[in-house]
Amino acid sequence: MKLQSPKGTRDFYPKEMADHNYVIDAWRRVSIRNGYEQIDGPIFETLDLYKIKSGEGIVSELFSFRRTGGDTDYAIRPEFTPTLARMVAAKANALPKPIKWFCTPNFCRAERPQRGRLREFWQWNVDILGLDSPLADAEVIFTAVDLFAELGLTHEQVRVKISHRDTTRHILLKLGVSDDRMLAAFNLLDRREKMDDDAFVKAAADLGLEEHNVKRFDEVCRMTYSIGGLAALRASVGAGVDLSDLEGLDEQLKAFGIADWCEYDLGIVRGLAYYTGTVFEIKEVSGVERAIAGGGRYDKLIELFDGPPTPAVGFGMGDVVLTNVLLDKGLMPEDASPAPDVFLIAASDAGAAQLPAVASQLRRAGLHARFSYKATRNIGKLLRDATTSRARYTVIVDDRISENIVAMKDMASGEQSDVALDQIADQINQ
């Protein structure tokens, strides 16, 4: 029987692992320089934890289990927000505010694998809690934009689409959507891009909208406005719609210097019920991929986990879509694996016998050192191996090793000179 990896998972061979680490390392590097502290939690939680946030319907989307003879249901984590809320609620009064946390865990969801969505994936979560200000909303958005710039993406390739749940709610109320149908309307807006026109019109009519308002409802999904363009948005949605939160966010986005990356899009609502204010999705402009990231403000969630009222905003970004985008744009390094500082080759039998000793000495000095396992003494062939490894330097060990002398070749310049063995690390590190 031929054994294969489970459907919707990935085997990470060295090349794929190097690409994966390239993304994870960038997430961590950007998080730290933006002032976030890293956290993590268990890879499984009690099933009830996820029901608190998402209700009973979440169960079918999880890999859940009960130990033989046990009486507690568990689930492999499908997301991090419930764990985050539990952790904050447990120590809310002792945690300095604002809380700025990030994590890069792996998750599992029992859903149909497709492009951009797998059953196991890694996700970057960035959250600011305890700060009820559009400054926090703007800073988490800036953190995502900072990553894209780090990875070589531009605002012409990636757009942050921003909306506000209350703004959209007021528009829908004016169109005739009742409060008891509001969540259904949000869910419909959230699915609009995946629906054909006839299906959308029928679903909108089922919300109780009159025919002319169904057209207006569809227009709401397609409105976009530039940062600094709130006057145009206000003129479009009419009087009586409170835009104060977006006005504050507008100023902060400009202050962070990322207005070119962002736009207001009233069709973004994020279907999840726990969002309370600003919401956003980050999309690759060609539309080939799913959203790269999504998030928003969730000011009431910590209270669901028996914590105190705590304003909060954050986003999640999966590795699958981001990796697809980087590969499609040619922005993933050809070889993201770490290159050796030094590659050791033997030019004589005496030199070959000393390769392990020389390698261990250099490794203890903190260098990434590799050596050739080949029996050949053909220096040309061995130097080609050193070039393939992308080593910065090649050290050629021959009979002079008895005098602690080796030849050292700078692979970039081609210059070669004799050096004392105990000087190699100093020369490489200078």
Q: For each of the chain's 430 residues, which pLDDT tens digit applies? A: 889 999 999 999 999 999 999 999 999 999 999 999 999 999 999 999 999 888 787 888 899 999 999 999 999 999 999 999 999 999 999 999 999 999 999 999 998 999 989 999 999 999 999 999 999 999 999 999 999 999 999 999 999 999 988 888 888 888 888 888 887 887 887 777 778 878 888 888 888 777 778 777 777 667 788 998 888 888 877 766 778 888 999 999 999 999 999 999 888 877 666 789 999 999 999 988 889 999 999 999 999 999 999 999 999 999 999 999 999 999 999 999 999 999 999 999 999 999 999 999 999 999 999 999 999 999 999 999 999 999 999 999 999 999 999 999 999 999 999 999 999 999 888 7
- Asked if residue 337 belongs to a domain, the reply is no
Residues 253 and 347 in one domain: no
Task: State the alpha helices, DSSP H only, in 313-370.
Answer: 319-328, 349-364
Measured CA to CA, the distance from residue 49 to residue 313 in angstroms comes to: 20
* Domain edge (last residue) among 276, 304, 328: 328
Residues 288, 398, single domain; the answer is no
Same domain? For 178 and 114 the reply is yes
- Give the whole-angstrom CA distance, residue 240 versus residue 25: 46
Do 84 and 175 fall into the same domain? yes
Question: Do residue 418 and residue 322 come from a single domain?
Answer: no
Tokens of 415: 């210059």
Task: Tell me the C-alpha distance between 276 and 158, whole Å.
Answer: 25
Tokens read off for 1: 């029987």
> What's the domain count of the chain?
2
**63 shares a domain with 189:** yes
Contact indicator for 302, 129 with CB cutoff of 8 Å? yes
Q: Are residues 240 and 380 in the same domain?
A: no
Contact 223, 171 (CB under 8 A): no
Q: How many other C-beta atoms lie within 10 A of the C-beta of residue 91?
A: 10
100 and 60 inside one domain = yes
Residue type, 179: D
Tell me, yes or no, whether 123 lies in a domain. Answer: yes
Same domain, 236 and 377: no
Domain that holds residue 348: 342-429
Domain with 379 in it: what CATH number?
A: 3.40.50.800
Same domain, 280 and 368: no
Residues 124 and 269 in one domain: yes
3 occurs within a structural domain: no
The pTM of this model reads 0.90
Is residue 6 in a domain?
no
> Does a structural domain hold residue 5?
no
**Could you write out the DSSP letters of every residue in 113-166?**
-BTTB-SEEEEEEEEEES--SHHHHHHHHHHHHHHHHHTT--TTTEEEEEEEHH
Can you give the CATH number for the domain in which 36 is found?
Answer: 3.30.930.10
Residues 173 and 80 in one domain: yes
Domain boundary among 279, 301, 328: 328
Q: Are 364 and 412 in contact (CB under 8 A)?
A: no
* Domain-embedded: residue 61: yes
